[in-house]
Amino acid sequence: MNYSKLAEELMESMIRVRKLSLNKQLDNVSFGERKILAYLHYHNNGATSGELSEKLDLTTPRVASTLKSLEKKAFIKRVQDPSDKRVVIVTVTKEGREFVKREREEAQTALSYLLQELGEEDSKDFTRIMKRIATIKESR
């Protein structure tokens, strides 16, 4: 089997799917902002900008500009760590949590529709393969 050719076909399909999903940019929330909001939402105790940079594999300047943008949108707030005044903790606001929740619900609805269109057998195969891919990536 020519895995290189198959990989090329898969990449082309992924690009086509991504192009169809670009309408998400219309709401003025970037991919990086979504990534940070999701991390903060699911890690309720907040995070420092350094932690965000490390955990999300984003550069420090990228994190700084993204946090500034999220703060303007009232999706996050920055507070001094009470135990160390030099440290600033970034937390997600109620508005930010509502945005993440809405995004997740919209994604789940879209995926449910897609899986329904694929049919039961293909949906189960697709889900099984995605789980396997996640396991392979996590083990590296």
Task: Sketch the domain layout of the chain as residue ranges.
Answer: 3-138
| Domain 3-138 in this protein, CATH class | mainly alpha
Do 50 and 101 form a contact (C-beta atoms < 8 A)?
no
Count CA atoms within 13 Å of residue 90 on its CB side.
26
What does the alpha-carbon distance between residue 75 and residue 68 come to, in Å, rounded to a whole number?
Answer: 10
Residue 90 class from Cβ within 10 Å (0-12 exposed, 13-18 middle, 19+ buried)? buried
Question: What is the pLDDT at residue 18?
Answer: 76
* Residue 43 DSSP label: S
Mean pLDDT by 10 residues, the chain (140 residues): 91 83 62 92 89 94 95 95 91 95 90 93 95 93
Question: What is the pLDDT at residue 72?
Answer: 96
What does the alpha-carbon distance between residue 18 and residue 58 come to, in Å, rounded to a whole number?
Answer: 21
48 Cβ contact partners less than 8 Å away, ≥ 6 residues apart: 87, 88, 89, 90
Question: What is the pLDDT at residue 119?
Answer: 95
Question: What is the pLDDT at residue 20?
Answer: 67
Question: What is the pLDDT at residue 28?
Answer: 74
Question: What is the pLDDT at residue 30?
Answer: 85
What does the alpha-carbon distance between residue 65 and residue 5 come to, in Å, rounded to a whole number?
Answer: 39
Three-class SS state of 17 = helix
Do 90 and 48 form a contact (C-beta atoms < 8 A)?
yes
pTM of the full structure:
0.77
